Every structure is written in structure tokens, then in C-alpha cells.
Amino acid sequence: MQQLRTLGRRLLVRRPLRSPGASRLFTRHTNLASHTRPQLPFLSSPLARNQQFRYLTTERKRWLAYEMLTAGKYTVYFWAILGFSVVAYWSVQQEWLERRYPTPHEWGFLTRMRFRLAKWAPERTDVPYTDWVQIGNYAKNVVERLEDPKIEGAGLQELTEDGAWIDGIGKPGYDLSAKSEPWRRGYYEALMLCAKAAEHLDDQVLDRTRRLVFPADQVLGPSNPNPKPIAHGSPSAPHERDCERAFEPPEIFYMRILATRGFTPKQKMDAALEYASWLDFKGAPDASARMHEWALSLANESSLPNPPIYDEKTYVLKDDKGARKPSANLLTSLTALAAHKARNGDISSALPILISILRARRSLPSPQQSADDSYTGTARSSSSPWTAENLVGVAKRIIFEPEYPPPPDDGEAPPARDAGELCEEAGLDLYIGEIIYASSGAGGKGKGREDGLAWTREAVDLAEEQLHKLGAGGRSSRDARAAAARKTCRECLDAGLRNWAKMAGRLAQEERERGSTAGSGGSAGWLGLWGDGGPKAEEEAGRWAAEEQVVKERTRRAQELLDEMEAPKTGLGAIFWA
């Protein structure tokens, strides 16, 4: 009974079932009698509504304006930083160039900048080749600005009334008496740089149609029937009718220096010797000899009205027991004249001149050691770089413009027998050894070639010794004179080692050929009891082979001296040195 009562209660509480004809909620608006597809919300296409949306709202406008302003600011910041970096790099570069290649302070900014770039270009190591076209243009522009009365040439006086142009020489020159010594020295250096550029561009032509420079042997024309091919990637070869000289001849600039009033005798002598060397290179020995004589007369101006201390016919210095010492200019010009005679085959005249010059150099007085030179580099290196004197010196070098260097030695006094002159003596030994060796002939069996090799060996020893001394620390090692002496010793050592190696190699080759001939055709006697095959002959046979090995070992040891390396920085500069 209890179970029936519970069952009945559940049936009453349970939800009643729908009848089959009752309509469902999702189909109550549908005509059940129609056979069409029911219109369900998710099956019907939406009705087209003409609704408008605002894509550029006020907030979006503010955001776009902010983004554009931020992008503009960062763009300005980027280009400003880039521009300031370029200007800073250029300023530091110009300051570095000014300290390395000083220019006269009285020149204008553009003149000084172009002069620095022209002097720096031949020594650049960050470019694959030296652009002498650019160097010549810079140097020529500097000369034109210095000669222009409206720019840098105020006060220049022409030596002729109308400034006539002389064929083959150009302008006759100017009177520089009204200019200062730094101005005149800078003008001289610019003219010499133009002459050097003209020498390198002597075989170059300029294509007027394209403003390009080509070697003359690549020009297409009747004067060059077999032109050389153009390098891969270069512009096409020019035609002869469109070409002209790329630069003025070198003699125009050399003669302008010699004709200008205001240069020192040493400056004119150096220009004359350079011009004579150029004439030798061009195959004009007679003109070169006349130019050497002109240089010799310029070097002898300081001794006038006294008679010269050399024989005017043989150019050999007179041995007057040291009563009169030759000047530095006279020694330089006589050495160049002797080298000219030796190059042109006049060995009988060149050798006595060189021996007399060597005798005169060895009789020069020793240099007087100053108190500054006696101060050792050890004491300097032990001082702290943070002293007040060093800090004040660094501040002055940063703030103030560097001073223009003082004028060099005029060469009118006898030189002192210092390290630089000892290197010049080594160069004379090298000349003498080469002349003696060459004059002995290839098949000479006397002591001529051995003497020539001995002179060369002595030159190498002297140059290496002086180069070791000049490589020591101290203030004098940073001096311009010491730097020039190191350069001379390094060149002499390099040339001496090469000459020594060639001489010893040739003698060793002949020695080996004689040994092979003697071994194949010679008879040592029965059982080797007699003949010339003893130990003495074997020792003699290996003499030049051993000399050849000695040269190779000396060359290997001297390689550190030949490689020009800068000394480590000291003081505050060492902080920024890697």
C-alpha cells in the first residue's frame, strides 16, 4: 500500500506529456500546412541594413598624431646624431692631419685643408693605390690660391712686368721677400708636391669628353698603333683626338722654384737635384749633368768669395788637413753628382769623388751632447702621467692650435757626425761597394768583387748599429731629425742586405759551378794520395756558400728593424692606445 501511494504521488508531480498536435516553441509561428522550408533565424540571410561606422574617431586621431610626431622626432634625432658624428669625425681627422702635416697659420681654411689632404694622400694605407690625379689637383689648387692676390697672394711681386709665359718653363717666378718664412716654406712644399705629381702623371692623358685619365699607351690613334688592353671593368679606351696631357710637365714647377726669389739655397739645391734625377730617368744625361752643376753652385754659395774646397775639374774634395770643413749642402750635391756619373758609366770619375766624401765625413766633429740628451729615458718613463705638468700640457694641446715647426737646417754649416751622418757614411760605403763589385766584371778572379762585398758588409753593419741606437726611447727618438735618420738607416740597411745577398749568391753559384766541374773532370790521384782535393780546397770551396747563409740569417734578424713599427704610447695618450 505504501508503495502504491508513493507511485501515485510521483505520477501527479511529473510534468505532463505534450500531445502530438501541440506546437513547439521554435515552430509556433510556422504554418504547418505549408510544405516550404522553415524560416529559422540561423538559416535565413540577414536583411540589408544601412548602418554607418566612424573609423576615424577622436581617440584614433589623437593616436595617429602622436605616432607621426614620435616618428618625426626619432627621424630628426637619427639624422642629427649621424650628421654630428660625421662632423665630429671630420673635425678630429683635420686636427690629426694638422698635427701630422702642419700648415702655415696665415693661410685660409680651404687652402690649409687641401694642402693637408695633398700631403696625406701619398702616405695613406687605407686605399689600394695612390691617386696622383687627386694629389695633383689638390696641390695645383693650393699653388693657384697662393699666387692669387685676392686670396692668399697679397704682396706677391712678379719678376717680370707683364708676367710673361716662357715656353717650356711657364711663369718665371715671384719675389717672396714680403712673405713670412712659414708662407714661403709652405709655397715651396706645394710646388715640390706639384712636381712629384707631374712626374707620376707624365705618361697619362686626359679624355676631355669624359674627364677621365688614362695611360698614354692605351689611347686609340695613329701615334699608338698597338694600344695596351684596358683593365677589366674600366671605361673604354679614349681616342687620340679627344686627349690632352693630364698634368703640366715637371720642369715647369722645378724651374719656377729655381727662378723664384726668396727661397733658401738649400731649397733650390734640393729642387735642382730632384730635377736632375728626373732628367736621368728620362734619358737626358747631359741635361742632368748641367743641373747637377747648378745644384753644386747653389751649395757653394755659402763659401763665396773663397775658392771652392773641391777640384773644379774632377770634383774631388781637397785634403787640407781639416782646415776647412765641407758644408752639408756641398756633401749632398757632390754625392748626387758622383751617383749620376756612376749610373752613366763614368766609374773612374765617380769612385774618387765618393772616397773623398767618405774621408771628409769621417773627419767631421762629433756632436756635443746636451743636458737634455743625457737625461735617460728611464727616468722619464718612471714618472706618472697624471702629474700637473702633463695634464696642463694635454689641455694646451687640445685647446690651442699646434705651433708651426721651426725652419729646418739650411745646410750651410758642416754637419756633426751624429747617427744621421753615420747612416750617410753607410750609404757611401754601399755606393763604393756596388761600384767596385760591378767594375770587377762577372768573370773577375781578383779581389775586386771580394772588396766590393766587404764594403757592402761594412755598410750593413754600420746601418744596423745606428738603427739599434736610434730605436731607443727618449725625447730625441721622437724628433724629426731622428725620424729622418731612422728612415735613412732603414733604407740603407734594406738596400745593403739585398746587395749583399745578390753578391754572395752570385759568388756562391760560381763556386758551386767550379766545384761540380772539378769533381767531374779533375783527377785526385791514385788512391787519393795526392792532388788538390784536400781539406783546404774543400774549406775554400764552401766559403761563399757559408757567406750566403750568413746573409740570410742577418736578413731574418734585421727584419724587425726594417719593419717600421711605432713605439708604445706613454703618458695620457697610452689610455686611448690599443
Burial-class residue 220 by CB neighbours within 10 Å (0-12, 13-18, 19+). middle
* Cα dihedral 394→398→400→405 (10° resolution): 70
421 is a domain residue: no
242 is a domain residue: yes
**pLDDT of the residue at 34:** 53
202 is a domain residue: yes
User: Which residue would you say has higher pLDDT here, 224 or 254?
Assistant: 254
**pLDDT of the residue at 194:** 96
**pLDDT of the residue at 162:** 52
Nearest residue to 562 (alpha-carbon basis) of 479, 499, 489? 489
**pLDDT of the residue at 170:** 64
Phi, psi of 458, deg, nearest 5: -65, -40
The residues pairing with 220 across neighbouring beta strands, listed in sequence order, are 239
Q: Residues 427-460: pLDDT tens digits? A: 999 999 999 988 876 555 557 888 899 999 999 9
Q: pLDDT at residue 189 above 90? A: yes
Q: Average of pLDDT values for 219-232?
A: 89
Q: Average of pLDDT values for 135-150?
A: 94
Please give the Cα distance from 545 to 552 (Å, whole number): 11
**pLDDT of the residue at 526:** 36
182 Cβ neighbours under 8 A, 6+ residues apart: 104, 105, 106, 404
Contact 360, 323 (CB under 8 A): no
Contact 176, 157 (CB under 8 A): no
User: Which residue would you say has higher pLDDT here, 65 or 58?
Assistant: 65
Q: Residues 269-288: pLDDT tens digits? A: 999 999 999 999 999 999 99
Please give the Cα distance from 296 to 303 (Å, whole number): 12
**pLDDT of the residue at 577:** 43
Q: Average of pLDDT values for 552-576?
A: 66
CA distances from 56 to 49, 65, 66, 529, 543 (A): 21, 12, 14, 120, 99
96 is a domain residue: no
Nearest residue to 320 (alpha-carbon basis) of 310, 330, 306? 310
Nearest residue to 412 (alpha-carbon basis) of 537, 261, 265, 232? 265
User: Which residue would you say has higher pLDDT here, 95 or 48?
Assistant: 95
Residue percentage of the chain with pLDDT more than 90: 41
DSSP letter string over 2-63?
HHHHHHHHHHHHSPPPPPTTSPPGGGTTS-TT--SPP--TTTSPPPP------SS-HHHHHH
Please give the Cα distance from 493 to 435 (Å, whole number): 17
| 381 pLDDT tier (thresholds 50, 70, 90) | very low
**pLDDT of the residue at 524:** 45
Q: pLDDT at residue 397 above 80? A: no
- Range name among 45-49, 230-234, 557-561 with the lowest pLDDT average: 45-49
**pLDDT of the residue at 264:** 93
Please give the Cα distance from 357 to 309 (Å, whole number): 12
Contact 493, 464 (CB under 8 A): yes
180 is a domain residue: yes
User: Which residue would you say has higher pLDDT here, 25 or 558?
Assistant: 558
User: Which residue would you say has higher pLDDT here, 188 or 533?
Assistant: 188
What mean pLDDT is reported for the chain? 81
Q: Average of pLDDT values for 65-82?
A: 96
User: Which residue would you say has higher pLDDT here, 423 or 381?
Assistant: 423
**pLDDT of the residue at 282:** 93
Total domains, the chain: 1
Structural domain of 204: 126-221+237-263
Nearest residue to 358 (alpha-carbon basis) of 435, 295, 464, 289? 435
229 is a domain residue: no
- Range name among 263-277, 290-304, 517-531 with the lowest pLDDT average: 517-531
Q: pLDDT at residue 390 above 80? A: no
Q: Which three cell numbers stand for residue 434?
A: 756596388
Please give the Cα distance from 375 to 392 (Å, whole number): 22
295 Cβ neighbours under 8 A, 6+ residues apart: 269, 272, 273, 276, 333, 336, 337
Q: Which three cell numbers stand for residue 20?
A: 502530438
Please give the Cα distance from 353 to 338 (Å, whole number): 6
Radius of gyration of the chain (CA): 44
Please give the Cα distance from 36 to 30 (Å, whole number): 10
Q: Average of pLDDT values for 307-329?
A: 85
**pLDDT of the residue at 71:** 96
Please give the Cα distance from 40 to 20 (Å, whole number): 22
137 is a domain residue: yes
Burial-class residue 578 by CB neighbours within 10 Å (0-12, 13-18, 19+). exposed
Contact 482, 471 (CB under 8 A): no
473 Cβ neighbours under 8 A, 6+ residues apart: 377, 380, 381, 567
- Range name among 98-102, 117-121, 189-193, 525-529 with the lowest pLDDT average: 525-529
429 is a domain residue: no
| 6 pLDDT tier (thresholds 50, 70, 90) | low
What SS3 string covers 82-117?
HHHHHHHHHHHHHHHHHHHCCCCCCCCHHHHHHHHH
Nearest residue to 387 (alpha-carbon basis) of 203, 571, 220, 245? 571
| 12 pLDDT tier (thresholds 50, 70, 90) | low
Which of 2-11, 23-32, 338-347 shows the highest mean pLDDT? 338-347
Strand intervals (E) in 92-201:
157-158, 174-175
Residue percentage of the chain with pLDDT more than 70: 76
